[in-house]
Chains A and B, each alone.
Chain A
Amino acid sequence: MAGVLNTYFRNIFDTAATVFEGMAVTCSHFVRKPTTIQYPDRTDVRVQDTLPYRYRGILEVDLDICTGCLACERACPIDCIVIDAKKDKATRQMMLNRFDIDIAKCMYCGLCSEPCPTGSIHHTPEFEGADYSLESMLRRFVKEPVAAYKPKKVEDDPKILPVLERGMRYLDEFANPDEEEKGAEA
């Protein structure tokens, strides 16, 4: 009997004490600063600018430095990249007729930007991908056929130089380990 009564009052006391403690924890949150941010318009800097360098957002292609090697098309596991590159018989130059990326299909895995020799195809920190139609999510990068970039020993074209520098920096930061792999492939 005494044991039963003891448990009875112990239960009441335990409940009261633990509820008291829990209320103290939540009460202490009344004066803590909220951790959420007010996306998208009440942040100090754009959210895109706060993302780390490796962030894998929507894909972008710098056609100026695209060599037309098709490495990204081969690496893509879901075939969302379609490239049509042909060697022009007359000028003996690689011509890019088509470079499409279906963003609706893309799963942002980053496998395409690793084998790229110049850093042409790369992820941007842009992540707001919502759109009204599937068609508009198909990014066509080639408007009219252009010549593919030909890697030179020393790049001297002032127009291409900054783009290539960005690409190589991207490779250093993002696709670093593949430096060794290229040897293995060749």
Chain B
Amino acid sequence: MLQQFLDSLIADGVFGGLPRDIVYLIGMAAAGALVVFGFVLNVAGVTTFVERRVWARIQSRVGPNRVGPQGILQWLADGIKLLMKEEVIPFAADARLFKLAPFIVTIGFIAAFVAMPFSSVLIVADLNLGILYITAMTSLVVVGIMVAGWASNNKWSLIGGIRAAAQIVSYEIPAALSIFTVILVTGTLSMQGIIQQQGWGPWDWFIFHSPFTFVGFFITFISLLAEGNRTPFDLPEAESELVAGFVTEYSGARYLFFFLVEWGNLYVISAILVTLFLGGWQAPPIPVISDSAVGRNVLEFLTFFLKSYFGVVLMMWIRATLPRTRVDQLMTTCWKYLLPIAFFNFMGTALWVLVFPEGFRFAEILLTAVGFGLLGYFAYRVAFHLRRSGAQITLSPLS
């Protein structure tokens, strides 16, 4: 789409006699800057604020509520504070690598947005290797973390970096295997292609496509949590064991980059999950709005954003609930539980696709019913806990 747009601009003579490739480069840079400054930074920033408020509510607190209305600008204040802080580079650190590490991490994270399908046309580049590209790019983060851990010349940082490497490399395997279950069904790696084969209704989503993809969703979710260093797998920066893990020696702007990536990654993780399993931007047709191209795209973007943001909140909520695993348990979970099941799933999906090439409607409906049944039981348990505690109830999210 970007290419067509640039081509039309060149045809209109906007760029004078500049070579086509240079125009493309400028166009790419401009689009990239727009995505990074207009979307990525804001989402990552607001996510820090939302996370603090979500935690606070779970922990019977109020959370940040002073900067701006309801504290919504807290993330800006924090960011400015960190940017203005003095940056300390330890004397014994490998200064060059120490400075480089946050940028490697940031590149790995931002590059993932290139193939992120926000709506049916809103995508920087619909690569035919889409999902593979995103998986590869997000693993670049581990290189940065390793470099940070090594260059800090601090034992806690080093342990954090090594932990991160071991963890992310291990969890790539079950994650990739369960992503392949979806690819077996779709036959394409392109993000748009995957989404186009799903529908707006939950019964058309790939999570409910077969029992195997249903399990595959949870395996992907757990593996991506581990890759994003989130609780219960946040060992690389386990603050009660490793002080702050690989960020122990960082301060100021570089520290900010690490945390930008950490919170931005939440969005990337849930965007991947939404694309693969939860119908992506497929929005229900609403008579008037869906008729115009702009209206449809806005609707699709909102659907995608809300779905992925629900995933982000889910991950915050998990972090507020669960304790951290130990290194050996982390590896046990991966190699003894996730990996065999992912293999089994992979084979099962292959068989399923062989037997039902067009999908099996009855199984889809049944699985959807099971999913909603679980949600219903969950609501019942929540009501039970509320009743037992006899706490005061308030539905307002404001403080």
With A21-B381, A23-B378 as contacts: A32 and B62 at CB distance below 8 Å: no
Contact between chains at B394 and A22 (CB < 8 Å)? no
Give 7 new A-B contacts, CB below 8 A, not counting A24-B382, A29-B57. Answer: A20-B381, A22-B322, A26-B317, A31-B394, A33-B391, A34-B57, A36-B62
Chain A contact residues, majority secondary structure? helix
**B318–A23 CB distance below 8 A:** yes
Mask, A1-45, CB within 8 Å of B = 1, is: 000000000011000000111111111111111111010000000
A35 to B62, CA, bound (A): 8
CB contact under 8 A between A32 and B60, given known A19-B322, A24-B382, A25-B385? yes
* CB <8 Å contact, B386 and A32: yes
Interchain Cβ contacts within 8 Å, total number: 68
Structural contact, A32 and B321, CB atoms closer than 8 A: no
Q: Are B378 and A24 in contact (CB under 8 A)?
A: yes
In the assembled complex, 27 residue pairs joining A and B whose CB atoms fall closer than 8 Å, in A order, are A22-B321, A22-B322, A23-B318, A23-B321, A23-B378, A24-B378, A24-B381, A24-B384, A24-B385, A27-B382, A28-B386, A28-B389, A29-B57, A30-B58, A31-B393, A31-B395, A32-B389, A32-B391, A32-B392, A33-B394, A34-B56, A34-B57, A34-B62, A34-B399, A35-B60, A38-B65, A38-B399
A27 CA / B321 CA spacing, docked (Å): 9
Most buried by B among A11, A20, A27: A27
Is B15 an interface residue when CB atoms closer than 8 A count as contact? Answer: no
Whether B114 sits at the interface, judged by CB under 8 Å, is: no
Minimum C-beta distance from A7 to chain B (A): 11
Query: What is A's interface to B at a CB cutoff of 8 Å?
Result: 11-12, 19-36, 38
> A32-B389, A32-B391 are known contacts. Are A26 and B321 too (CB-CB below 8 A)?
yes
Residue on B nearest A36 in the bound complex, by CB: B61
- What mask results when residues 37 to 62 of chain B are scored 1 for a CB within 8 Å of chain A, else 0? 00000000000000000001111111
For residue B97, CB closer than 8 A to chain A, the reply is: no
A29 close to B60 (CB less than 8 A): yes
Residue of B nearest to A41 (CB): B66
Max chain B C-beta neighbours (<10 A), residue from A11, A19, A29, A32: A29
Known A23-B317, A26-B58, A36-B62; judge A31-B322 contact (CB<8 A): no
Closest CB-CB distance, A38 to chain B, in whole Å? Answer: 7
- Shortest B216–chain A CB gap in Å is 15
Q: What is the bound-complex CA distance between A31 and B386, given in angstroms?
A: 9
CB-CB under 8 A from B384, the residues of chain A are 24
Alpha-carbon distance A29/B60, docked complex (angstroms): 7
Nearest-neighbour CB distance to chain A for B335, whole angstroms, equals 13
Chain A residues positioned under 8 Å from B57 (CB to CB): 29-30, 32, 34
B93 within 8 A of A: no
Dominant secondary structure of chain B at its interface with chain A = helix
Asked if B337 lies at the interface with its beta carbon under 8 angstroms from chain A, I say: yes
Provide the residues of chain B in CB contact with A26, threshold 8 Å: 58, 317, 320-321
Closest Cβ of chain B to A40, distance in Å, is: 12
Closest beta carbon of chain B to A76's beta carbon, Å: 39
Bound together, the chains give a CA A23 to CA B59 distance in angstroms of 13
What's the minimum C-beta distance from B64 to chain A, rounded to whole angstroms? 12
Per the bound structure, the CA–CA distance linking A177 and B383 in Å amounts to 50
User: How far apart sit A24 and B374, CA to CA, in the bound complex (Å)?
Assistant: 12
Distance in Å: Cβ of B399 to nearest Cβ of chain A: 7
Of B378, B386, B394, the residue contacting A20 (CB under 8 A) is B378
Whole-angstrom distance between the alpha carbons of A24 and B321 in the complex? 9
Give B254 Cβ to nearest chain A Cβ, in Å: 33
Cα(A63)–Cα(B179), bound, Å? 80
Residues 1-36 of chain B: 1 if any A CB is under 8 Å from the residue's CB, otherwise 0?
A: 000000000000000000000000000000000000
**Closest residue to B384 on the A side, CB-wise?**
A24
- Tell me the nearest residue of chain A to B387, going by C-beta: A28
Residues of chain A with a CB closer than 8 A to B386's CB: 28, 31-32
CA distance A23 to B375 in the complex (A): 12
Among A20, A29, A31, which residue has its beta carbon within 8 angstroms of that of B59? A29
Q: Which residues of B contact A11 (CB under 8 A)?
A: 337
Q: Mark B205-243, 1 if CB is under 8 A from A, else 0.
A: 000000000000000000000000000000000000000
- A32-B322 contact, Cβ under 8 Å, with A26-B58, A27-B382: no
Q: How far is the CB of A10 from chain B (nearest CB, A)?
A: 12
Contacts A19-B322, A23-B317, A33-B392: A28 and B60 contacting too (C-beta < 8 A)? no
| 348-399 of chain B: CB within 8 A of chain A | 378, 381-386, 389, 391-395, 399
| B261 → A minimal CB distance (Å) | 26
Task: Please tell me if the beta carbons of B394 and A28 are within 8 angstroms of each other in the complex.
Answer: no
A32 to chain B, nearest CB (A): 4
Closest to B232 in A: A19
Which residues on the A side are within 8 Å of B56 (C-beta)?
Answer: 34
Report Cα–Cα, A11/B329, bound state, in Å.
13
